[in-house]
Amino acid sequence: MKGAALLAGGLLTWELLSRLGPWPRWLFPGPAAVASSLVAMGADGRLGAAVLRSLGRLAQGYSLSVAIGVPLGVATARSALVRTAVRPVVLGMQALPSICWLPLAILWFGLSEAAILFVVVMGSLLAVAIGTEDAVSSVDPILLRAAGTLGIRGPRFYYGVLLPGALPGVLTGLKLGWSFAWRALMAGELLFVAGGLGQLLQAGRELLDAAQVMGVMVAIVAIGMTVDRVLFRVLELRVRRRWGLVEAAAA
Amino acid sequence: MWRDLLGRFLAARWGRPRVERAGLFPRRARAGRPKIDVHDVGHHFARVVALHDVNVKIHAGEFVCLLGPSGCGKTTLLYALAGHIQPSGGRVSIDGVEVKGPAPDRLLVFQEPALFPWLTVRQNIVYPLRARGLTRREAADRASAFIPLVQLEGFDDALPHQLSGGMRQRVQLARALAVDPAVLLMDEPFGALDAQTRSAMHQLLQQIWLRDRKTVVFVTHDVREALVLGDRVVVMAARPGRVLHDLDVRLPRPRDPDEPKLVELSRWIRAELRRTEAAAAQDEAEEPPRTEDGDARVGEGRSAPRGWPPDVGAPL
Amino acid sequence: MRAATVALAVLAAALAPGCREEPPADRPLRLGYFPNITHGQALVGVDDGTIARELGGKLDPKMFNAGPSAMEALLVGDLDASYVGAGPAVIAYFRSERAGLRVVAGAVSGGAVLVVRDARSAQDLAGKRVGSPQLGNTQDVALRTWLRAHGLSDRGGPRGVEVTPLTNADNLAMFRRGDLAGAWVPEPWGARLVAEAGGRILVDERSLWEGGRFPTTILVVSPRALERRPADVAALLRAHVALTRRWQADPEGFGRLANEAYGRRTGKPLKDAVLRDALSRLEPLDDPMPAQLARLAQHAQALGFAPPGDPSGMVDATILREVARR
The residues pairing with B43 across neighbouring beta strands, listed in sequence order, are B51
Q: Please state whether at least 3 CB pairs lie below 8 Å between chains A and C.
A: yes
Q: d(Cα C288, Cα C315) in Å, to the nearest integer?
A: 7
Percent of chain B with pLDDT over 70: 83
Test C177 with A27 for CB contact under 8 angstroms.
Answer: no
Q: d(Cα B179, Cα B127) in Å, to the nearest integer?
A: 10
**Per-residue pLDDT at C203:** 92
Test A26 with C19 for CB contact under 8 angstroms.
Answer: no
Nearest CA in chain A to C131: A193
**Per-residue pLDDT at B5:** 57
Test B128 with A150 for CB contact under 8 angstroms.
Answer: yes
Q: d(Cα B117, Cα B124) in Å, to the nearest integer?
A: 9
Least confident of B71-75, B137-141, C274-278: B71-75
Phi first, then psi, for residue B79 (nearest 5°) are -65, -30
Cβ pair C311, C294 in contact under 8 A:
yes
All partners of chain C with 3 or more CB pairs under 8 angstroms: A
Testing the interface with A: which of C69, C164, C171, C177 to mutate, by most A Cβ within 10 A?
C164
- B305 Cβ contact list (under 8 Å, min separation 6): B76, B79, B84, B85, B298, B299
The number of beta carbons lying within 10 Å of the beta carbon of residue A176 is 16
DSSP C209-272: SGGG--EEEEEEE-HHHHHH-HHHHHHHHHHHHHHHHHHHH-HHHHHHHHHHHHHHHHS-PPPH
Q: Is the pLDDT of residue A200 over 90?
A: no
Question: What is the helix (H) or strand (E) element at residue A187, kind and residue range?
Answer: helix A163-189
Going from N- to C-terminal start, the domains of chain C cover: 2-6+28-110+213-325, 112-212
* DSSP conformation class of C24: P
DSSP C176-187: HHT--SEEEEET
Predicted confidence pLDDT, tens digits, chain C (326 residues): 445 545 544 544 554 444 445 555 578 999 999 988 899 999 999 999 999 998 888 899 999 888 888 998 898 888 999 999 999 999 999 988 888 899 999 999 998 999 999 888 888 888 888 999 888 888 999 999 999 999 888 877 778 888 888 888 888 888 888 888 999 999 889 999 999 888 999 999 999 998 889 999 999 999 988 888 888 999 999 999 999 999 999 999 999 999 999 999 888 889 988 999 999 999 999 898 999 999 999 999 998 888 888 888 888 888 888 888 76
Closest-CA distance, C135 to chain A, in angstroms, reads: 7
Q: Examine residue C188 and say whether the peptide bond preceding it is cis (omega within 30 degrees of 0).
A: yes
Q: Complex ipTM above 0.85?
A: no
- A46 Cβ contact list (under 8 Å, min separation 6): A200
Q: What is the mean pLDDT of residues A53-76?
A: 92
Per CB-CB distance under 8 Å, the chain C contacts of A26 are 95-97
The number of beta carbons lying within 10 Å of the beta carbon of residue B255 is 19
**Per-residue pLDDT at C136:** 86
Q: d(Cα B212, Cα B230) in Å, to the nearest integer?
A: 15
Q: d(Cα C232, Cα C220) in Å, to the nearest integer?
A: 13
Q: What is the mean pLDDT of residues B141-150?
A: 89
Taken in order of first residue, the domains within chain A and their CATH numbers are 32-244 (1.10.3720.10)
Closest-CA distance, A121 to chain C, in angstroms, reads: 24
Testing the interface with C: which of A26, A192, A199, A216 to mutate, by most C Cβ within 10 A?
A26
Least confident of B161-165, B195-199, C87-91, C242-246: B195-199
Q: Is the pLDDT of residue A78 over 60?
A: yes
Q: Is the pLDDT of residue B290 over 80?
A: no
Average pLDDT of chain B is: 80
Q: d(Cα C58, Cα C72) in Å, to the nearest integer?
A: 22
The residues pairing with B92 across neighbouring beta strands, listed in sequence order, are B38
Q: For C183-199, give one letter per residue: b (16+ CB within 10 A) or e.
A: bbbbbbbbbbbbbebeb
Test B309 with A148 for CB contact under 8 angstroms.
Answer: yes
Nearest CA in chain A to B163: A244
* Distances in whole angstroms, Cα of residue A176 to Cα of each of A125, A223, B112, C275: 10, 15, 33, 53
Test A206 with C164 for CB contact under 8 angstroms.
Answer: no
The residues pairing with C200 across neighbouring beta strands, listed in sequence order, are C116
| B287/A195: higher pLDDT | A195
Going from N- to C-terminal start, the domains of chain B cover: 23-105+184-286, 113-180
Q: What is the mean pLDDT of residues A240-250?
A: 70
Q: Is the pLDDT of residue B15 over 60?
A: no
Measured over the CA atoms of residue A238, residue A241, residue A245 and residue A251, the dihedral's sign is positive
The CATH architecture of the domain made up of C112-212 is 3-Layer(aba) Sandwich (3.40)
**Per-residue pLDDT at B47:** 73
pTM across the whole model: 0.72
**Per-residue pLDDT at B6:** 55
Q: For B103-126, give one letter per residue: b (16+ CB within 10 A) or e.
A: beebbbbbbbbbbbbbbbbbbbbb
- Residues of chain C that touch chain A, judged by Cβ-Cβ distance less than 8 Å: 15-19, 68, 71-72, 75-76, 91-92, 95-97, 99, 134-136, 164-166, 170, 174, 177, 179, 304-306
The residues pairing with B183 across neighbouring beta strands, listed in sequence order, are B106, B215
Amino acid at A242: R
Test C18 with A111 for CB contact under 8 angstroms.
Answer: no
A80 close to B (CB below 8 A): no
DSSP C294-324: HHHHHHHHHTTSS----GGGSB--HHHHHHH
A52 close to C (CB below 8 A): no
Pick from B94, B100, B218, B200: which is nearest to B152 by CA? Answer: B200
* DSSP conformation class of B158: -
Closest-CA distance, B231 to chain A, in angstroms, reads: 25
All partners of chain B with 3 or more CB pairs under 8 angstroms: A
Pick from B85, B259, B263, B260: which is nearest to B187 by CA? Answer: B85
Domains C2-6+28-110+213-325 and C112-212 in one fold: yes
Q: Helix or strand or coil: residue C133?
A: coil
Fold of C2-6+28-110+213-325: D-Maltodextrin-Binding Protein; domain 2 (3.40.190)
Specify the CATH superfamily of domain B23-105+184-286: P-loop containing nucleotide triphosphate hydrolases (3.40.50.300)
Q: How many H-runs (helices) and E-runs (strands) does chain B carry?
A: 8, 11
E-assigned strands of A31-151? Answer: none
Measured over the CA atoms of residue C173, residue C176, residue C179 and residue C184, the dihedral's sign is positive
